[in-house]
Amino acid sequence: MTAVEVSGLGYTYPDGTVALQGVDLTVAHGERVAVLGPNGAGKTTLMLHLNGLIQAQVGRVAIEGTEVDDQSVRAIRHRVGLVFQDPDDQLFMPSVRDDVAFGPANAGLSPDEVARRVEGALGLVGMADVADRPPHHLSLGQRRRVAIATVLAMDPAVLVLDEPSSNLDPAARREVADTLLGLNRTTVMVTHDLPYALQLCPRSVILSAGRIVADGPTADILVDSDLLAQHRLELPHGFDPASVSGR
Looking at residue 247, its pLDDT comes to 40
Looking at residue 238, its pLDDT comes to 84
Q: What mean pLDDT comes out for the span 135-140?
A: 95
Amino acid found at 143 = R
Could you tell me what percent of the chain has a pLDDT over 90?
93
The CA dihedral of 110, 153, 30, 83, to the nearest 10 degrees, is: 140
The yes-or-no verdict on residue 211 having pLDDT over 50 is yes
Looking at residue 53, its pLDDT comes to 95
The yes-or-no verdict on residue 167 having pLDDT over 50 is yes
pLDDT digits (tens, 9 = 90+) for 97-109: 999 999 999 999 9
Instruction: Determine if the pTM surpasses 0.85.
Output: yes
Angle at the Cα of 242 from the Cα atoms of 236 and 247, rounded to 5 degrees: 95
Q: The domain 4-243: what is its CATH number?
A: 3.40.50.300
Q: What mean pLDDT comes out for the span 110-121?
A: 97
Higher per-residue confidence, 39 vs 121: 121
The yes-or-no verdict on residue 1 having pLDDT over 80 is no
Looking at residue 245, its pLDDT comes to 52
Looking at residue 130, its pLDDT comes to 96
* Mean confidence (pLDDT) of the chain: 94
Domain ranges of the chain: 4-243
The yes-or-no verdict on residue 3 having pLDDT over 90 is yes
